[in-house]
Chain A
Amino acid sequence: MSASSDVGFHAQRHARWHYGEVAFWLIVLACGFAFPTRYLIMTDILRLALFAMSLDLILGYAGIVSLGHAAFFGVGAYAAGLLALHGIVNEPVLALIVAGLAAMVLGFATSFLVIRGVDLTRLMVTLGIALLLEALAERFSNITGGTDGLQGIEMQPIFGVIPFDMFGKAGFFYSLAVLFLLFLFARRVVHSPFGLSLRAIKNNPLRAAAIGIPVNRRLIAIYTLAAFYAGVAGALFTQTTAIASLDVFAFERSADLMLVLVIGGTGYLYGGLVGAVIFRMLQEVFSTITPQYWQFWIGLVLVVIVLVGRQRLHRWVLYVPNLVIRQIAGRKAVVAVPESDA
């Protein structure tokens, strides 16, 4: 068997749906029916999961470290808010796509700045862009509402049929549908030759360029796509909470997002989803122990994760499930350790 067909065989096998994945989504769907009183927090988790997935696309797959991913989230949030407030695009799904596209345009424009330079410059530029947008949103308070944020947003029914209810049921299933569709697309992308070339770039840009991968163009493409995802996440935030305030751009949001992804693991799409669930639960637990100071514990978690080592941590977490699977099914573990981190 030639080397190239061998690679293709493995790539295809990875791309196939596992039973575990189907079960995962069924469980998520079941949660929607099992906990009818917790729609708001579950919607929050879905939003965060989508946002984390967006960061995973550039961090886990392309190796771009970003400290300002909230920029796109914020643009999506404000775009959706303004569209709804001024009645430009009334239908939520359409507004969602338009808001995502707005963030995508920004992502495309700034990607040229981001692909230049090394890690450190990228950190600074991404952080700078988010801060710049926050300053802009504060400056043009006649459009954005300044520190008060956009108020009085009223969402129209989805497709003109399903209205947003006050318990957040419609919001939850709406977010879930959006997340699932975008997940399907992201899954297709990362398993395509395009996605494989991104991993090659992440592992070694120089070598990737040497085997004929157009490194810069690929990075621009994935950065733009990730911006779209983040924009949609932001738009979901506005649509399901009916507010958009300056803190959508805040540095803490970008930093928390990194934590989400690190908890879940980078470089496989479920990392963001799992991380979002664990992060919100941690936050709930910490804020019930010490309401005002939960940030301390979040910080501690970050420090411990880094000191222990992310890969080692994931091996520990997956040790028991793998053992069980090996004992019962008598074959190689299905739950794989995520790829090496950025």
Chain B
Amino acid sequence: MTSILTNLFDGVAYGMLLFVLACGLAVTLGLMNFVNLAHGAFAMAGGYICMVLVNRMGWPFFAALPLAFVSSAAIGIALERTLYRHLYARSHLDQVLFTIGLTFMSVAAVDYIQGSSRVFINLPAALQGQFDLFGVGIGRYRLMIVVICGLLTIALQMVLAKSRFGSRLRAAVDDPRAASGLGINVPQVFAFTFAFGCGLAGLGGALSAEILGLDPYFPLKFMIYFLIVVTVGGSSSITGPFLASLLLGIGDVAGKYYVPKMGPFVIYTMMIVILIWRPNGLFGRTAAR
């Protein structure tokens, strides 16, 4: 019984991590209809920046996390302004080719700079080990992830639903032409959102080094997971991808624990079935227009 609850908790932590990693993609892919297969590269950048800051320069872990966010966002906005924005109007094939190219470049570049082996971030002692809560073993690190990601999710939902920027974004997505007619600077809104999504991915990458493992092949290995979150979750709200991430996280952890031999098999089958059954995602209105 307790092992089930521990697994459930691990699954939730994993799912929330996936959500933070993938929700930027939900915006680019789901809302802006841009197939960005290089999303994982931004996550990897954040993870490596955090690693260098903590391990090499002796920064405290919690100080390095915001910087991972900021630098990933900066990389994101630089690429968006110079490269990505030329491709919004292109065909999906062009977008796929371009982002695959970027992914390959990032993989080789990180391999060149940091080596191909898996890296670990030195965690403060307070985050290591487990404690018991009513007999359920809870990892401290995972608890921190649940807290951070939970707060982020709530904040995102608030921003999207309540703030002026949120309504601008939703307007820009619903009908870019009408939105720009109303004086909304649509490219700027998209650029900002893109950068923010990249920043979140970077933060997720820094957090995930401990759980998912961080090596130069990160963008390729987890690409499918991000895509699953977005396509299964749909993109009409934050809730869809969030629930999809939780499902995926719990399913993956449970699958690996109870039927270790069938692990990835279950996930891929689930994805294909869901896509066939509801091409616009489980919770989605329009995953792609």
Which A positions have Cβ atoms within 8 angstroms of B? 59, 65, 67, 113, 116-121, 123-125, 127-129, 131-132, 135-136, 139, 251-252, 255, 258-259, 262, 292-296, 298-303, 305-307, 310, 341-342
In the complex, what residues of B have CB within 8 A of residue A306's CB? 87, 90, 94, 97-98, 101
Q: Which residues in A have their C-beta under 8 angstroms from that of B224?
A: 127-128, 131
> Given that A118-B288, A121-B231, A125-B275 are known contacts, is A292 also in contact with B111, CB under 8 Å in the complex?
yes
> Which among A258, A262, A292, A295 has the highest number of chain B CB atoms within 10 Å?
A295
Known: A296-B104, A298-B104, A299-B105. A128 touches B268 (CB 8 A): yes
Kindly list 14 other residue pairs between chains A and B, CB separation below 8 angstroms, not including A124-B231, A296-B109, A307-B83. A113-B276, A116-B279, A124-B227, A132-B272, A139-B262, A259-B97, A292-B112, A293-B108, A294-B108, A295-B104, A299-B102, A300-B105, A303-B83, A306-B97
Closest Cβ of chain B to A141, distance in Å, is: 10
Do A124 and B275 have beta carbons less than 8 Å apart?
Answer: yes
With A120-B35, A121-B231, A255-B100 as contacts: A129 and B108 at CB distance below 8 Å: no
CB distance from A92 to the nearest CB of B (A): 32
A103 to B227, CA, bound (A): 26
Residues of B contacting A258 in the complex (Cβ-Cβ under 8 angstroms): 96-97, 100
Is there contact, CB below 8 Å, between A59 and B93?
yes
B262 touches A67 (CB 8 A): no
Contacts of A118 in B (CB 8 A): 279, 288
A295 to B112, CA, bound (A): 11
B276 with A302: CB separation less than 8 A: no
Chain B residue numbers with a CB within 8 Å of A127 are 224, 227
Q: Which residue of B lies closest to A130 (CB)?
A: B268
B interface residues, tally (CB under 8 Å) = 45
A295 to B116, CA, bound (A): 13
A residues less than 8 Å from B111 (CB atoms)? 292-293
Q: Sample 19 A-B pairs with CB under 8 A, ordered by A number.
A: A120-B231, A121-B287, A124-B231, A125-B272, A127-B224, A128-B224, A135-B263, A255-B100, A258-B100, A295-B107, A296-B112, A299-B100, A299-B103, A302-B101, A302-B104, A303-B101, A305-B97, A306-B98, A307-B83
Contact of B220 among A59, A67, A124, A251 (CB under 8 A): A251
Contacts of B285 in A (CB 8 A): none
Question: Per-residue CB proximity of B251-272 to A under 8 Å, as 1/0?
Answer: 0000000000111110011011
| Contact of B92 with A116 in the complex, beta carbons under 8 Å | no
Taken together as a complex, chains A and B put the C-alpha atoms of A271 and B35 apart, in Å, by 25
- Our pick among A121, A131, A300 for the contact of B288 (Cβ within 8 Å) is A121
Rank and list the top 8 A-B pairs by shortest CB-CB distance, nearest first. Answer: A302-B101, A299-B104, A296-B108, A299-B105, A303-B101, A117-B279, A306-B98, A120-B288
> Nearest chain-B residue to A129 (Cβ)?
B272
Cβ–Cβ contact B93 & A302, under 8 A:
no
